[in-house]
Structure 1
Amino acid sequence: MKQLSFILFFVLLFILRNTIEAKSLKHDKKSLKNQELPAYTKSSPIKFYLQDDNIVNYAQGAIDFIEFSTFLKFSKQSRKINDVGINFYYNNKEDKVELSYDNKKPTIVNLTKNTYNSKHLAKFYVGYALGLIPEIARKDRDSEVKIFSQNILAKYKKFYDKKKGYPESYYATDFDYSSMMMFNSSFGSIEKGKRTFKSEFESFYEKQIGGLGSYSFNDYKRLNILYFKDKCKNAPKCQNKGYYGNNCNECKCVYPFAGKYCKSYAKKIGTCEDSFLNAYSNAKTITFNKYAGECYYIIKAKSKRRKVKLTIVNFKGVGQYKLEVKYRKDKGAAGLLINRDVKNIVFPSLSSSVIVTYHTYNVSSVLTIKYQAK
Structure 2
Amino acid sequence: MLPLQTLRENADTIAIAMDKRGLDARPIISKILDLDLERRNLQARLDQTLAEANTASREIGQLFKAGKAAEANTLKETSSHLKAQSKELQEQLGIAAEGLQEALYLLPNTPNDLVPAGVDEADNEIVYEWGDIPNLDADALPHWELAGKYDLIDFELGVKITGAGFPVYKGQGARLQRALISYFLDRNTEAGYQEIQVPHLVNEASGYGTGQLPDKEGQMYHVQEDNLYLIPTAEVPVTNLFRDVILEKAQLPVRYTAYTPCFRREAGSYGAHVRGLNRLHQFDKVEIVRVETPEHSYAALEEMVNHVKGLLESLNLPYRILRLCGGDLGFTSALTYDFEVYSTAQQRWLEVSSVSNFEAFQANRLKLRFREGSEKPQLAHTLNGSALALPRILAGLLENYQEAGGIRIPEVLVPYTGFNRIS
Alignment TM-score, normalising by the size of structure 2: 0.27
Select the structure of larger CA radius of gyration.
Answer: 2
Alignment TM-score, normalising by the size of structure 1: 0.29
User: Which structure: greater helix fraction?
Assistant: 2
Question: Does 1 or 2 have the higher relative contact order (CA < 8 Å, sep 6+)?
Answer: 2
User: Which structure: greater strand fraction?
Assistant: 1
